[in-house]
Amino acid sequence: MIRDDIKAATITAMKGGDKETTATLRLAQAAIKNRDIEARTGGAPKDDDALVTEVLQKMTKQRRESADLYRKGGREDRAEAEENEIKIIEKFLPHQL
């Protein structure tokens, strides 16, 4: 499951001292937990990987929009940080056809 892969990657990043990856994966885990809480009121999702994929795609979209806005505002450093987070998140998304 994608959720387990993210958890394992977080532990590996923490042990390796990779603070950027650790922070990004912790944000992803928090977003997934928030989505789980929202799903409790509407019934449990049938496919856990579909829920996690939906959350990760939303996070990726938000970061792309943020990177564009940072570039327009002349903040190239922040845009690069957002793009680095996108690369980390996309490792856990299923490959598109």
Q: What percentage of the chain exceeds 70 in pLDDT?
A: 93
Alpha helices in 43-95 (DSSP H): 48-72, 76-90
* Residue 90: HSE in the Cβ half-sphere, 13 Å Cα cutoff: 13
What are the CA-CA distances from residue 54 to residues 16, 17, 78 (Å)?
28, 28, 25
Helix (H, G, I), strand (E, B) or coil at 7: helix
pLDDT for 66 beyond 90:
yes
pLDDT in tens, 48-62: 888 899 999 999 999
For the chain, give the mean pLDDT.
91
Over its C-alpha atoms, the chain yields an Rg (Å, rounded) of 14
Rama region for 18: left / alpha / beta (φ>0; ψ in -120 to 50; rest): beta
pLDDT value of position 97? 56
